[in-house]
A and B are shown apart, each in its own frame.
Chain A
């Protein structure tokens, strides 16, 4: 079992218990540019991810636009 993180259809697995902030750091993703959602709930950076959790990483920055 591991924490499963899905970013743009790509799946990553991290072992152990960690905060959202630690998980993003391990994936070398900036917490300023990414949000994490578990079961439709937005998580803050101190929320804890545990083995078996499946979370979605939502990139918050985009190019183009208006």
Chain B
């Protein structure tokens, strides 16, 4: 039986039709008020977690997807000095995934007159990420592990080389909650100690911030759609069947019947850990000694090359540096 008596949903701030209802906030907003709310909330998070100030330059990790382009757009609208960093991973798989992502990131930057830095993994190493993954033990069964390692290393290196002490990623609530859920599910307490909206800078590491950590992925997607941001809609071909997607789907099924469950899980975790109610294993009495990797110079606990450089250790040491950035 089809119910045909439907009441249209209005914006809570004006009489316009709502484009989104956020049950966890008991809030429905029209396109104008949604954009306004989204930008204000981002600024609130930047201040609440002391992410960065207006005097600092921010390097935004841009993938060409909805979240990272939305983050860059919001920081641009808020007037921050935010430049983009795109890492061309060389993922093709018949859909020109990386080429198309780069095109969209470039287009976004050009339309707004913003600076986009580009690293091309194949140009730097002679191999794409899928090729590196196939060749190395670390990535043979899981290219995402190699991809993550390369991105984290290159993002940090780029931030240091370009003189940014803040690196912003567009991790959203669903990313954070899926990560937390996976860590609880596998009792990976060590990872839980480090999960945070801000990871402070330390020698050799830029400060890492996640201004979208309290927005659901649905909210960031809605922002990109309402703002008319063109982003890569295809899923990364290697993400299909990933545990992260499975966890996100499970958690959204829970969110349907218990609005706000994801946000409460995440904030409850941060509060319990930071207040000392949740006691996670402390760092070693004597902290692990970090030393510069002899090849790239980034801090590592390994006795020799860092995990990133070990991906390329069969090649002659010294002939390959870390990816060169355009000047």
Residues of A participating in the B interface, judged by any CB pair closer than 8 Å: 8, 16-19, 22, 30-33, 35, 37, 40-48, 58-66
Question: B235 near A63 (CB under 8 angstroms)?
Answer: yes
A30 — which chain B residues lie within 8 A by C-beta? 249, 252-253, 256
Given A33-B249, A61-B174, A66-B171, 19 more A-B residue pairs with CB atoms under 8 Å apart are A8-B233, A16-B2, A22-B2, A30-B249, A32-B216, A32-B218, A33-B217, A33-B252, A37-B225, A42-B226, A44-B9, A44-B19, A44-B28, A60-B66, A60-B222, A61-B217, A63-B244, A64-B238, A66-B170
Known contacts A58-B221, A65-B65, A66-B169; is-contact A41 B19 (Cβ 8 Å): yes
Tell me the smallest distance from the CB of B204 to a CB of chain A, in Å: 20
Residue B324 is within 8 A (CB to CB) of chain A in the complex = no
Tell me the smallest distance from the CB of A59 to a CB of chain B, in Å: 8
The 9 tightest CB contacts between A and B, nearest first, are A63-B239, A32-B252, A60-B221, A64-B239, A63-B245, A64-B236, A42-B19, A66-B169, A60-B218
Known contacts A65-B171, A66-B68; is-contact A31 B256 (Cβ 8 Å): yes
Question: A62 near B252 (CB under 8 angstroms)?
Answer: no
16 A-B pairs (CB sep. < 8 Å): A16-B2, A17-B4, A18-B3, A32-B253, A32-B256, A33-B249, A33-B252, A41-B19, A42-B19, A46-B9, A58-B221, A60-B216, A61-B252, A64-B242, A64-B244, A65-B171
Question: B6 near A48 (CB under 8 angstroms)?
Answer: yes
A61 — which chain B residues lie within 8 A by C-beta? 174, 217-218, 245, 248-249, 252
A32 — which chain B residues lie within 8 A by C-beta? 216, 218, 252-253, 255-256
Known contacts A33-B252, A61-B252, A66-B151; is-contact A46 B169 (Cβ 8 Å): no
Name the residue on A nearest B259 (C-beta): A32
Question: B2 near A17 (CB under 8 angstroms)?
Answer: yes
A43 CA to B217 CA, complexed, in Å: 16
Residue B8 is within 8 A (CB to CB) of chain A in the complex = yes
A59 CA to B252 CA, complexed, in Å: 12
A41 — which chain B residues lie within 8 A by C-beta? 19
Known contacts A17-B2, A45-B21; is-contact A62 B9 (Cβ 8 Å): no
B53-69 toward A: CB 8 Å interface, digit per residue (1/0)?
A: 00000000101011110
Residue B17 is within 8 A (CB to CB) of chain A in the complex = yes
Known contacts A32-B218, A42-B31, A66-B63; is-contact A47 B225 (Cβ 8 Å): no
Name the residue on B nearest A34 (C-beta): B218
A66 CA to B72 CA, complexed, in Å: 14
Partner of A44, one of B21, B63, B236, B255: B21
A31 CA to B244 CA, complexed, in Å: 18
Tell me the smallest distance from the CB of A26 to a CB of chain B, in Å: 10
Question: A18 near B221 (CB under 8 angstroms)?
Answer: no
A62 — which chain B residues lie within 8 A by C-beta? 65-66, 217, 235-236, 239, 245
B222 — which chain A residues lie within 8 A by C-beta? 35, 42, 60
A19 — which chain B residues lie within 8 A by C-beta? 3, 6
B155 — which chain A residues lie within 8 A by C-beta? 66
Residue B144 is within 8 A (CB to CB) of chain A in the complex = yes
Residue B307 is within 8 A (CB to CB) of chain A in the complex = no
Residue B39 is within 8 A (CB to CB) of chain A in the complex = no
B220-259 toward A: CB 8 Å interface, digit per residue (1/0)?
A: 1110011010000101101110101100110011011000
A65 CA to B244 CA, complexed, in Å: 10
Known contacts A62-B235, A63-B235; is-contact A46 B170 (Cβ 8 Å): no
A31 CA to B21 CA, complexed, in Å: 11
